[in-house]
Amino acid sequence: MYGDAETVRRILTATGDTWAVVGLSSNRNRAAYGVAQVLQRFGKRIVPVHPKAETVHGEQGYASLSEIPFPVDVVDVFVNSEAAGGIADEAVEIGAKAVWFQLGVVDETAWERVRAAGLDMVMDRCPAIELKSLR
């Protein structure tokens, strides 16, 4: 498993409340849309990151992580596994504190790079599910 219970808890409760959600668009049928809503309900500020740079859930979107003009604590990745490693590298570059790969998103070499850079990382899990289990 990629992300022990303590790391999951730390990211969700202590790492910070600004979450860039990569792959979040205004498409209500996508998992990212619902997960971002749950994150907001739990007090997280979500930042949509999508090529369309749409405003979603009342938050301004950006086309890439590097365009976000303020610090990001956690980068939540909803892209396919083949593209996820590049997003993880960009998360390290922007100074994020943690990276979270969603259910089904797995890249073991990205896991190793992110951890070697000193960031916390969870892979192949959903923060919406994990948040509900914290209660």
88's tokens: 């993880």
> pLDDT value at position 130?
94
> pLDDT value at position 133?
83
Residue with tokens 């860039």: 20
pLDDT in tens, 28-81: 999 999 999 999 999 999 999 999 999 999 999 999 999 999 999 999 999 999
> pLDDT value at position 134?
77
> pLDDT value at position 3?
82
Packing angle of the helix pair 31-41, 127-134 (nearest 10 deg): 30
Q: Is 57 left (phi over 0), alpha (psi -120 to 50) or beta?
A: left
d(CA 81, CA 68): 23
Average pLDDT of span 14-29: 96
Average pLDDT of span 87-115: 97
For residue 75, give Cα distances in angstroms to 72, 78, 92, 135. Answer: 7, 10, 9, 23
> pLDDT value at position 51?
96
